[in-house]
Structure 1
């Protein structure tokens, strides 16, 4: 075959592929959307149905349980990183006072464990100076990376990516995410402390409306920082070309609101409805803490799933940098225009089950009719 003929065949195949994509795009609601806010209601209905399917396919409850376990192991080292970093710019004792601002949200058992660990770490960190401080920060960061590494694996599953980064790269990414989380927490604690100080200082000079506004500003700032932390996870943890922030913001906000609702709801449930002490005895506080970590991880993974499925819905390039055609974007969700084969099989399996149940029901009804005759 001549070179000219071969080039002509390649061009024909490319044109055929482009034509097929255009046909699919014409039938896909929201295919031309450049942000999730531009999706029509029909597109959101399709996304919601996929979220229901992918919750089982990706086994989000099991992933959340794994992330919660490693977060439990990383909790104390992560708190140590936060306290040590905060000690470089402020008094670590104020960390414990800032934690009291979270009492309306966190379950009492979680708050108790958090306060106990903070007091222990604050007292220990006072003796760490110079090289000792750097060594303590390094050891704590390494221990706290368990949660980041677990989340990286979970997000690779949700975004349907295979891990190709070597151990040095994954370790560096895990350390960066951990330090980033700790840095966001330090900024949040500092903001809460500043707002609280201003509120107390102005209490005798301004009216109740201004104080309410300040408290609202505290929680809005805290919510923004939590959403930003989730966005850092979604952007840098998976092994893929990072998504644009606008394709991460919706899932981050949804995860934050869901986490807040779950935290408040579970705190009320643990305090007023369920009796964990009667069931677990002295382990009740640990069980409540683990359950809260599980529900928190679940809310974050649902936010990631929302981001993944919104990326799958659009045909526009959702990754950073110059727009690239489908298949060259370096991200499965950005390069995928149809529901995956595995997901399709799950839907077909459910449809077969419904058909089998309907057939059995009709057979039973026919048997009853024959018995009456």
Structure 2
């Protein structure tokens, strides 16, 4: 027996040919699936190198089509507006650290690999929040935390919008659902930030305490553990955002981890590399004067957001690479999965967006050719 998906494609019923997996691949794509590397992969870790090469090429093309630089700029701007409320929410949730020396010590561990201007801005905002809320307790603390989270939701809303574009989805959720989703994502980010601060403090203490006893080996071990924890926390945080932010059927965790890990690596590389660039290459003070700290902060946010969105884009193209169902729940055929990327079966050529980009490029080429011919005719006539 055969059933029809929403597009009218024939799909063999499970068990008709002895292969239950054939039910998830439309008949008109089964031959194509054999020739596409990774088409039968049930996990991104099963994708061969040739499949990842195709994913990287499509991600490069789609970065231009989706105007990833503008998306990253938007995320950076809204994060900049939300940074003080986010810091306030983190400090309040952490327990309103009232000791200035403690805050400075915590920040030194966290901001070691970001540009000094960024660390200065964050530290000043953090100390201001601590000073302003040092005596707030009980119900007043809950109210202050509520408004801090509400203000910090700008960053989450920016990420939700950007991830909808990358996943080629349109926002259909109501205002309340979107607001609650942004609030929960903000709280999740605060929780991960707190865990990171505590972990950095613990590892800094271990490094100081163990080095006199065990020598430089202990110091190196603690440094390696610190990076492992940072990668783990960052990957978990970005995977949570990529899973719950877009308006689509949620992707399985395993399909989110490669992009989440890449986002974390790019975030760390961008932070470290940009700090070196600001310190030794560029002189923002000469160009922007008193605004240099703000400009450096915005540039760092932009580069970090771009790296994060690159990871999300790689996840998107990895989902497009396989014909298997990458969404949660029971396996469903293409056209019934509730996610554009998981329902896409255009790997034989390009996705609709990529094909549209080719059409635009071809139209521009024809227009330029016609303009040159017209110019040649005018020159010949004169």
Flag whether TM exceeds 0.5 (same fold). Answer: yes
Displacement of 1:342: 2.8
| Structure 2 counterpart of 1:160 | 168
**Cα deviations across residues 217-273 of structure 1 (Å, max 9, x unaligned)?**
122112211121111110000011111111111001111111111111111111111
| Structure 1 counterpart of 2:178 | 170
Q: Residue 296 in 1 paired to residue 304 in 2?
A: yes
The partner residue of 2:281 within 273, 280, 301 is: 273
Displacement of 1:102: 3.4
Displacement of 1:96: 2.9
Q: Residue 220 in 1 paired to residue 242 in 2?
A: no
The partner residue of 1:53 within 40, 61, 76 is: 61
Displacement of 1:170: 0.5
**Consecutive aligned runs of 4 or more in structure 1 exceeding 4 Å deviation:** 7-13, 88-93, 351-361
RMSD between superposed Cα atoms in Å: 2.7
Relative to 1, partners in 2 of residues 1:104 and 1:272: Cα closer, same or farther, differing over 3 Å? same
In the aligned structure 1, how far is the partner of 2:143 from the partner of 2:362?
58
Assess if the C-alpha contact under 8 Å between 1:252 and 1:304 holds in 2. yes
In the aligned structure 1, how far is the partner of 2:45 from the partner of 2:11?
31
Report the structure, 1 or 2, having the larger helix content.
1
Q: Secondary structure at the match of 2:164?
A: helix
| Structure 2 counterpart of 1:14 | 10
Assess if the C-alpha contact under 8 Å between 2:72 and 2:302 holds in 1. yes
In the aligned structure 1, how far is the partner of 2:11 from the partner of 2:186?
46
The partner residue of 2:322 within 291, 314, 320 is: 314
Q: Residue 65 in 1 paired to residue 73 in 2?
A: yes
Q: Residue 29 in 1 paired to residue 37 in 2?
A: yes
When the two structures are aligned, how many residues end up with a matched partner? 357
In the aligned structure 1, how far is the partner of 2:4 from the partner of 2:232?
49
Q: Residue 329 in 1 paired to residue 337 in 2?
A: yes
| Structure 1 counterpart of 2:380 | none
> Structure 2: where are the runs of 5+ without partners?
13-24, 373-382
Displacement of 1:335: 0.6
TM-score normalized by the length of structure 1: 0.89
| Structure 2 counterpart of 1:120 | 128
* Greater mean alpha carbon deviation, residues 338-347 or residues 328-337: 338-347
* Greater mean alpha carbon deviation, residues 168-177 or residues 255-264: 255-264
Assess if the C-alpha contact under 8 Å between 1:83 and 1:95 holds in 2. no
In the aligned structure 2, how far is the partner of 1:259 from the partner of 1:117?
22
Assess if the C-alpha contact under 8 Å between 2:97 and 2:103 holds in 1. no
Relative to 1, partners in 2 of residues 1:63 and 1:149: Cα closer, same or farther, differing over 3 Å? same
Q: Residue 343 in 1 paired to residue 339 in 2?
A: no
